[in-house]
């Protein structure tokens, strides 16, 4: 099962003045440690909350702008029309797979290994395209993208579906 965010905050990691919630397992169940400070000059304050923090996936997005920029910065690159078609393929597959991905990430229906990478914000993680998703993308690229752009797109997917790659899905979490 993929791991949910363990440090929860609405502000980036680098922000020194913020409120942070950390789920903690105890022998009696789960509690939440709340840490905060109102000023950078104050010490960090802590409080144990006797309630469990609920965490869920708020949204899953493709990195559309980043994909376009990366395609155009590489040479040779596919036509702008092919890039547009490729983004449409990704959006359609994401729309069809959204519920499966969300349930798998939240742990309510874990059926496939998920690889997540952290970002500079506690509520944003990046998801490597799962194999079933990648298989569908490759099938659609094979059938819908014309030569010679087809091989350029397939190579692009392989190169950029890893840590810091633009093919990673952006997973935005929320909590209460």
Transcribe 14-41 into DSSP letters: T-SS-EEEEEEEETTEEEEEEEE-SSTT
Q: Taking Cα atoms as reference points, which of 108, 102, 176, 107 lies closest to residue 133?
A: 102
Beta bridge mates, 35: 20, 46
The answer to the question of residue 147 being in a domain is: yes
The parent domain of residue 142 ranges over 56-175
pLDDT 10s digits, 6-27: 789 999 999 999 999 998 888 9
pTM: 0.86
73: which residues sit within 8 A by CB, 6+ positions away?
A: none
* Per-residue pLDDT reduced to its tens digit, 98-118: 998 998 888 755 556 778 888
In a domain, 20, yes or no: no
Give the chain's domain count.
1
Tokens 């939240």: give the residue. 106
Does the residue 31 lie in any domain?
Answer: no
Q: Is residue 130 part of a domain?
A: yes
Q: How confident is the model at residue 1 (pLDDT cuts 50, 70, 90)?
A: very low
* Within a domain: 3: no
25-62 per-position pLDDT tens digit: 889 888 999 999 999 999 999 999 998 888 899 999 99
pLDDT at 2: 47
| pLDDT score of 167 | 96
Q: Are 116 and 104 in contact (CB under 8 A)?
A: no
Give every CB contact of residue 27 below 8 A, 6+ residues apart in sequence.
none
Here the tokens at position 96 are 């069809």
116 inside domain: yes
Tens digits of residue pLDDT in 128-174: 998 889 999 999 999 999 989 999 999 999 999 988 899 999 999 99
As given in the structure block, the two tokens for residue 74 are 């590489």
Other beta carbons within 10 angstroms of residue 71's beta carbon come to: 22
In a domain, 21, yes or no: no
Question: Is residue 34 a contact partner of residue 21, using CB atoms and an 8 Å limit?
Answer: yes
Does some domain include residue 159?
yes
């Amino acid at each position: 099962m993929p791991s949910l965010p363990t440090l929860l905050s609405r502000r980036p990691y680098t922000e020194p003045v913020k409120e942070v919630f950390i789920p903690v397992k105890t022998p009696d169940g789960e509690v939440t440690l709340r840490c905060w400070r109102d000023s950078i000059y104050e010490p960090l304050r802590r409080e144990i909350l006797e309630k469990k923090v609920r965490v869920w996936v708020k949204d899953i997005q493709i990195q559309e702008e980043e994909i376009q920029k990366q395609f155009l910065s590489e040479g040779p690159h596919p036509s702008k029309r092919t890039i547009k078609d490729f983004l449409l393929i990704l959006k359609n597959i994401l729309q069809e797979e959204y519920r499966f991905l969300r349930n798998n990430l939240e742990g309510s229906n874990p059926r496939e290994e998920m690889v997540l990478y952290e970002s500079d914000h506690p509520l944003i993680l990046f998801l490597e395209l799962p194999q079933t998703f990648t298989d569908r993308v490759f099938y659609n690229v094979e059938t819908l993208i014309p030569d010679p752009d087809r091989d350029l797109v397939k190579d692009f997917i392989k190169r950029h579906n890893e840590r810091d790659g633009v093919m990673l899905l952006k997973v935005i979490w929320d909590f209460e």
